[in-house]
A and B are shown apart, each in its own frame.
Chain A
Amino acid sequence: MNAVNAGGWKPTMGETGESAVPQTASGDYGLMLEEALIFELGAKDKCGVDFEAVDRAPASGLSKFLRKSAPDLPGLTEPEAVRHYTRLSRQNYAIDLGPFPLGSCTMKHNPRLNETVARLPGFADVHPMQPQTTVQGALEVIEQLADWLIALTGMASVAMSPKAGAHGELCGLLCIRAALDARGETRDVVLVPESAHGTNPATAAFAGFKVQSIPATPDGRVDVAALKEKLGPNVAGVMITNPNTCGLFESELKTIADAVHAAGGYVYCDGANFNAIVGKVRPGDLGVDAMHINLHKTFSTPHGGGGPGAGPVVLSAALAPFAPLPFVTRGADGGIHLVEEENRGEGHSQAFGRMVAFHGQMGMFTRALTYILSHGADGLRQVAEDAVLNANYVLRTCEDVLPAPFAKSGPCMHEALFSEAGLAEGFSTLDIAKGLIDEGFHPMTVYFPLVVKGAMLIEPTETESKAGLDRFIASLRSLAERAKAGDQSLHSAPHFAPRRRLDETQAARKPVLVWQG
């Protein structure tokens, strides 16, 4: 085991353990390595950092605030720490290991040049409150990325500071609130299709709106007639995902936008799926007023096991004046300026306020700009085409073994949607997903969108090769056949992962959220 394990912890094999496998004394099995917690491995007085000696007492003003003893935090020396985290890393699946076809999440390859660039001291080691004359390059990165996002979406402006997609949604809705306030109108309803990401209704509620749901048509698109019926003087706007979460392009978006605008509302587009149309379609041409762009989806910044993201919001001319501070502009002197609270009078007096402490996700901006410059206008178009081609390839090579509820609605965009209908009694989407783990793949998005029972949403992305896709398809087809034939071994999958199925009910019933010794 790694380091001193004071607690003597080792993994236990339950009674259902496979009897054919001999137990090892360590609990490890060759390269399948178990790892204890830092609280079991470390000690408060262990340290992986050396310090210069301090030869003075704390200032007297501080004496009444001093803590009585050092915090109860375990430490490890560098070799122990490197081993701990390296061993843990091996219990993760990742894009670097194979396809990660999570629908709507866009797990594409993360180019390493982006990582190198983000770590240049001129970007990584710059303070957000430095005098602006000393950060012109950083502000230029924001400006150049903003220019690209505006050009690619055909919109008037972009608010760069939101920290992630949901934060961008919030930014867009607050721009709508501010625009309505400026018109002296109180409209308190936002319409959200039932196929929307959960963040959409949550964001609308977070921004103080009431949410009304819009049904889908049998072909998987927004029910335009039902939407039009709901429009009225209390509707602030609609939130539409395009391409939508069924993987389909909302062909009627322009019609919807015209109707919403005629009724005095605004159109928010969830841009989570922009990667399907980047360089092929500009949302600004379809009547969109605000759309967030997940830089960690379309523009390849790494997801990092759950974040950070970045959610710039492109805005129409109607909403642009209300974008939050800070804001980057180029002055008459040729220099780039940051518009903050003190100088908002300089052309940005209607800003609705501030959403974050500083200027947004600079570390993501440098990565995204690097990615965009690498692809260029031609490469980004190819990105969308290949993403859509790969998804349609999966759709058409699997629809004979797994029902694809909207396969007759036309080509899919960047993701292919299947359902669990037709599996043997007692078999479900979960069995297919866990079976994929044993096949060496990350599962697809499951049970989303909610409009399809037992949904399986597969987004291969453009960075999968045909050979890689063919292997994935072969596995998926095999699993579908096994689930149809009632292969009981699927119920206990995964068999070959660091853990078998985990007891989520127990975790929620008696939450253990911190180590208790």
Chain B
Amino acid sequence: MRYLPLTPADRAEMLGTIGAASVDDLFADVPEEARLSGPIEGLPMHASEMAVERHMTKLAAKNLSAGSAPFFLGAGAYRHHVPASVDHLIQRGEFLTAYTPYQPEIAQGTLQVLFEFQTQVARLLGTDIANASMYDGSTACWEAILMAARVTRKGKAVLSGGLHPHYGEVVRTMAKFTGDEIHSLATGLTAEPDDAAVIGAIDEATSCVVVQYPDVLGRIPDLAAIAEAAHAKGALLVAVVTEPVALGLIEAPGTLGADIVVGEGQSLGVGLQFGGPYLGLLGCREKFVRQMPGRLCGQTVDAEGKRGFVLTLSTREQHIRREKATSNICTNSGLCALAFSIHLTLLGGEGLAQLAGVNHARAQAMVERLTRIPGVELLNHAYFNEATLILPRDARDVVRELAEREILGGVSLSRLFPAAEGLDKALLVTATETTSLEDIEAFATELEALLVGVPA
């Protein structure tokens, strides 16, 4: 077996050294009735690299990959071009096959990357500080709500109707068990986001309001106004960013007054990967540092006075505090954080602004072309790279029929919000720098063909 270095002679010699007659003697503490006498029946035996690769390649070929068709999906996961060097660098064995940097003298590579990542994330989100990553945006969102409850000592969170519905589901699932009160606002097809409803829902018992920016329909809430209203009642603003590339063009949430900013970092460096692994971002005000979940990397010096980095403030964490920890998170998204950090370093601030500009321009071209189709209307006039269209017929059917024509034509809002009323004809469409004008034309042509003859 190609991954097992011990030879039969090694095994025999080692058993002799140990003083065991056979390897089964080493399993003597397993009750005999629970010991399997041979390989589990019905399962295949070992296979060559070539055979396994062939099997997996066949499975991969059954999927329609985003790059092989005109592609317009977003809704919390975005297809961006990842520079080739990113994937080469994260596959260096020293990064790929290292563990959590618990021995800092021989993990300065990972630790310095984390320190750089934390600084990049804080600057991008407009917060004082950021942690070393969470699992994904949705779990970071729940952690932010818990954190706000610890900071304010209140337990009611208000969720904007513009929050990604899966994030809302994660929050409501967890809150069922912890007893936190969650006030979820409805999602409606309005051109403007639900800022007024969010502000109206804040009361003295509110620990935080959770507002996605841009929201799941592509609209852009006025974070500054919401922050002011929240702070007036002693509540925090938790801003959620699912498309960090947007922050190259629109103001950072922390700058607008958000107290905690969480995000999904997948857009930079990570890729679509059918939903995971992704990268949770979490930044906040410095005064909340001891209430933060997850790992933090900090600067220090070594015994010779050289600058170095260590994991720090671990008295918040499970391996020290056990049941009193701020979170149970241990393993996070380290390698995705590395990919994000490299991609952002290749961009730089001006480059990120340019990338955001290209995204927005592509989205403008997409919206203009699609709304030339009779009966297709744009819902939100303020958008970054994602907007909601109202079609003359059920958008779920349209998405399915487009897929039959090998067009991946957006996400229907009724798939995102299956329980909501009145969203049937709404289609969320996204364009990024990877979207070509030819893709847009192909999409428009097929969409128009599907909608022909349908009364608006």
Closest CB-CB distance, A306 to chain B, in whole Å?
A: 3
Determine the distance from Cα of A55 to Cα of B399 in the docked complex, in whole angstroms.
31
Determine the distance from Cα of A277 to Cα of B433 in the docked complex, in whole angstroms.
48
Given known A-B contacts A49-B346, A135-B64, A386-B6, A82 and B85 have beta carbons under 8 A apart:
yes
Contact A198–B312 (Cβ < 8 Å): no
Q: 18 additional contacts, CB 8 Å, given A393-B14, A514-B129?
A: A43-B348, A49-B351, A52-B358, A59-B383, A73-B349, A78-B83, A93-B103, A123-B274, A137-B62, A137-B63, A167-B135, A177-B177, A281-B36, A362-B274, A363-B276, A379-B46, A382-B1, A514-B128
Which residue of the partner chain, among A76, A97, A204, A369, contacts B348 with CB atoms under 8 Å? A76
Given known A-B contacts A81-B345, A164-B135, A307-B133, A73 and B352 have beta carbons under 8 A apart:
yes
Q: Does A261 contact B (CB under 8 A)?
A: no
Closest CB-CB distance, B211 to chain A, in whole Å?
A: 14
Q: Which residues of A contact B152 (CB under 8 A)?
A: none
Contact B358–A307 (Cβ < 8 Å): no
Contact A511–B360 (Cβ < 8 Å): no
Q: Which residues of B contact A362 (CB under 8 A)?
A: 273-277
Which residue of the partner chain, among A44, A62, A121, A378, contacts B250 with CB atoms under 8 Å? A62
Q: Does B431 contact A (CB under 8 A)?
A: no
In the complex, per-residue mask of A41-60: 1 if CB is within 8 Å of any chain B CB, else 0: 01111111101101110111
Contact B60–A492 (Cβ < 8 Å): no
Interchain residue pairs with CB less than 8 A apart (26): A37-B116, A39-B119, A70-B248, A76-B345, A94-B95, A96-B97, A117-B52, A117-B53, A126-B66, A127-B274, A128-B77, A169-B328, A201-B318, A201-B323, A204-B323, A249-B30, A303-B334, A341-B169, A356-B139, A357-B76, A375-B46, A393-B17, A411-B20, A499-B105, A511-B296, A515-B116
Given known A-B contacts A51-B358, A65-B250, A163 and B277 have beta carbons under 8 A apart:
yes
Contact A90–B94 (Cβ < 8 Å): yes
Binding-face segment, B230-238, B302-310, B438-446: B302-310
Determine the distance from Cα of A473 to Cα of B55 in the docked complex, in whole angstroms.
40
Which residue of the partner chain, among A111, A208, A358, contacts B77 with CB atoms under 8 Å? A358
Contact A374–B47 (Cβ < 8 Å): yes
Chain B contacts with A in 242-256, Cβ cutoff 8 A? 247-252
Determine the distance from Cα of A376 to Cα of B38 in the docked complex, in whole angstroms.
12
Contact A51–B334 (Cβ < 8 Å): no
Chain A contacts with B in 350-372, Cβ cutoff 8 A? 352-364, 366, 369-370
Which residue of the partner chain, among A47, A61, A111, A410, contacts B351 with CB atoms under 8 Å? A47
Contact A110–B60 (Cβ < 8 Å): no
Q: Which residues of A contact B382 (CB under 8 A)?
A: 59, 61-62, 65
Determine the distance from Cα of A54 to Cα of B362 in the docked complex, in whole angstroms.
9
Contact B77–A376 (Cβ < 8 Å): no
Given known A-B contacts A102-B99, A121-B65, A466-B6, A92 and B31 have beta carbons under 8 A apart:
no
Q: How many A-B pairs fall under 8 Å by CB?
A: 740
Contact B298–A511 (Cβ < 8 Å): yes
In the complex, per-residue mask of B380-408: 1 if CB is within 8 Å of any chain A CB, else 0: 11111000000000000001100110001
Determine the distance from Cα of A205 to Cα of B322 in the docked complex, in whole angstroms.
9
Which residue of the partner chain, among A70, A89, A357, contacts B349 with CB atoms under 8 Å? A70
Contact B112–A376 (Cβ < 8 Å): no
User: Which 7 A-B residue pairs are closest in the complex by CB-CB distance?
Assistant: A75-B348, A353-B173, A358-B275, A304-B335, A122-B60, A14-B305, A137-B62
Q: Which residues of A contact B355 (CB under 8 A)?
A: 49, 51
Determine the distance from Cα of A462 to Cα of B118 in the docked complex, in whole angstroms.
36
In the complex, per-residue mask of B153-175: 1 if CB is within 8 Å of any chain A CB, else 0: 00000000000111101101110
Which residue of the partner chain, among A58, A60, A303, contacts B97 with CB atoms under 8 Å? A303
Q: Does A91 contact B (CB under 8 A)?
A: yes
Q: Does B319 contact A (CB under 8 A)?
A: yes
Contact B96–A94 (Cβ < 8 Å): yes
Q: Which residues of B contact A379 (CB under 8 A)?
A: 1, 3-4, 45-46
Contact B166–A357 (Cβ < 8 Å): yes
Q: Which residues of B contact A302 (CB under 8 A)?
A: 96-97, 335
Chain B interface size, as a band, is 35 or more
In the complex, per-residue mask of A110-135: 1 if CB is within 8 Å of any chain B CB, else 0: 11010111111111111111110111
Q: Does A482 contact B (CB under 8 A)?
A: no
Contact B334–A12 (Cβ < 8 Å): no
Contact B298–A512 (Cβ < 8 Å): yes
Contact B23–A389 (Cβ < 8 Å): yes
Q: Does B28 contact A (CB under 8 A)?
A: yes
Binding-face segment, B67-75, B197-205, B447-455: B67-75
Determine the distance from Cα of A515 to Cα of B116 in the docked complex, in whole angstroms.
7
Contact A207–B177 (Cβ < 8 Å): yes
Determine the distance from Cα of A308 to Cα of B382 in the docked complex, in whole angstroms.
35
Q: Does A258 contact B (CB under 8 A)?
A: no
Q: Does B257 contact A (CB under 8 A)?
A: no
Contact A59–B276 (Cβ < 8 Å): no
In the complex, per-residue mask of A368-401: 1 if CB is within 8 Å of any chain B CB, else 0: 0110011111110111011011101101110000
Chain B contacts with A in 324-356, Cβ cutoff 8 A? 324-325, 327-336, 338, 342, 344-355
Given known A-B contacts A58-B249, A498-B106, A508 and B312 have beta carbons under 8 A apart:
yes
Which residue of the partner chain, among B45, B77, B135, B349, contacts A163 with CB atoms under 8 Å? B135
Contact A166–B63 (Cβ < 8 Å): no
Q: Does A348 contact B (CB under 8 A)?
A: no
Determine the distance from Cα of A141 to Cα of B278 in the docked complex, in whole angstroms.
18
Determine the distance from Cα of A460 to Cα of B278 in the docked complex, in whole angstroms.
30
In the complex, per-residue mask of B97-129: 1 if CB is within 8 Å of any chain A CB, else 0: 111111111111110110110111011100011
In the complex, per-residue mask of A280-294: 1 if CB is within 8 Å of any chain B CB, else 0: 111001100000001
Determine the distance from Cα of A353 to Cα of B295 in the docked complex, in whole angstroms.
27
Given known A-B contacts A166-B331, A279-B40, A305 and B100 have beta carbons under 8 A apart:
yes
Contact A254–B34 (Cβ < 8 Å): yes
Contact A13–B350 (Cβ < 8 Å): no
Determine the distance from Cα of A229 to Cα of B408 in the docked complex, in whole angstroms.
59
Contact B327–A202 (Cβ < 8 Å): yes
Residue in chain A with minimal CB distance to B141: A357
Given known A-B contacts A207-B177, A506-B301, A308 and B60 have beta carbons under 8 A apart:
no
Contact B17–A128 (Cβ < 8 Å): no
Q: Which residues of A contact B5 (CB under 8 A)?
A: 463-466, 468
Contact B6–A74 (Cβ < 8 Å): no
Q: Does A199 contact B (CB under 8 A)?
A: yes
Q: Does A476 contact B (CB under 8 A)?
A: no
Residue in chain A with minimal CB distance to B365: A56
- Most A C-beta atoms less than 10 A away, residue of B104, B105, B332: B105
Q: Does A437 contact B (CB under 8 A)?
A: yes
Given known A-B contacts A73-B352, A392-B20, A121 and B68 have beta carbons under 8 A apart:
yes
Q: Does A29 contact B (CB under 8 A)?
A: no
Q: Does A31 contact B (CB under 8 A)?
A: no
Determine the distance from Cα of A52 to Cα of B103 in the docked complex, in whole angstroms.
44
Q: Does A248 contact B (CB under 8 A)?
A: yes
Q: Does B136 contact A (CB under 8 A)?
A: yes
Determine the distance from Cα of A111 to Cα of B20 in the docked complex, in whole angstroms.
31
Q: Does A342 contact B (CB under 8 A)?
A: yes
In the complex, per-residue mask of A452-485: 1 if CB is within 8 Å of any chain B CB, else 0: 0000000000111110100000000000000000
Q: Which residues of A contact B135 (CB under 8 A)?
A: 163-164, 167, 307-308, 356
Q: Which residues of A contact B4 (CB under 8 A)?
A: 379, 382-383, 386, 462-463
Contact A249–B29 (Cβ < 8 Å): yes
Contact B173–A443 (Cβ < 8 Å): no
Q: Which residues of A contact B3 (CB under 8 A)?
A: 109, 111, 300, 374-375, 379, 463
Q: Which residues of B contact A265 (CB under 8 A)?
A: none
Contact A113–B52 (Cβ < 8 Å): yes
Q: Does A152 contact B (CB under 8 A)?
A: yes
Determine the distance from Cα of A340 to Cα of B334 in the docked complex, in whole angstroms.
28
Closest CB-CB distance, B224 to chain A, in whole Å?
A: 10
Determine the distance from Cα of A105 to Cα of B98 in the docked complex, in whole angstroms.
11
Contact A92–B249 (Cβ < 8 Å): no
Determine the distance from Cα of A361 to Cα of B274 in the docked complex, in whole angstroms.
8
Determine the distance from Cα of A441 to Cα of B428 in the docked complex, in whole angstroms.
52
Contact A198–B318 (Cβ < 8 Å): yes
Determine the distance from Cα of A277 to Cα of B124 in the docked complex, in whole angstroms.
45
Given known A-B contacts A16-B303, A75-B351, A342-B418, A279 and B105 have beta carbons under 8 A apart:
no
